[in-house]
Amino acid sequence: MSEETKTKKVTFQIEGNTYEGERGESLLGAIRKHGYEVPSLCYHEAVSPYGACRLCLVEVKKGRRQKLTTSCNYPVQEGIEVFLDTEKVQRNRKIVLELLVAKAPKAEAVRRLAEQYGAKTDRLEVEEEDKDNACILCGLCNRVCDEVVGAHAISFAGRGLHKRMESPYDEVAEDCIGCGACVWICPTDCIGIKETDTTRSIVRWHRDLPMQKCSACGQPFAPTFQLMQFAKKIKVEKTHFDKCPDCR
Contact 226, 175 (CB under 8 A): no
- Can you tell me whether residue 81 is helix, strand or coil? strand
Taking CB within 5 to 8 Å according to partner kind, which of ligand SF4, ligand FES, none is near residue 188?
Answer: ligand SF4
Closest separation in Å from C-beta 189 to ligand SF4 = 8
The smaller minimum CB distance to ligand SF4, of residues 10 and 209, is found at 209
Enumerate residues 170-189 that contact ligand SF4 by CB under 6 A.
173, 176-182, 186-188
Select 38 or 202, whichever has its Cβ closest to ligand SF4: 202
Q: Which is nearer to ligand FES, 173 or 182 (CB)?
A: 182
Say what the alpha-carbon torsion angle 43, 48, 53, 59 is, to the nearest 10 degrees: 80
Buried b (16+ CB within 10 A) or exposed e, 113-129: bbeeeebeeeeeeeeee
| Residue 144 binding ligand SF4, by CB under 6 A | yes
Residue 70 or 188: the one with the smaller Cβ distance to ligand SF4 is: 188
Cβ neighbours for 106, distance < 8 A, ≥ 6 positions apart: 132, 133, 134, 188, 190
Task: Provide the binding-site residues for ligand SF4, judged by CB under 6 A.
Answer: 135-141, 144-145, 149, 151, 153-154, 165, 173, 176-182, 186-188, 190-191, 202, 205
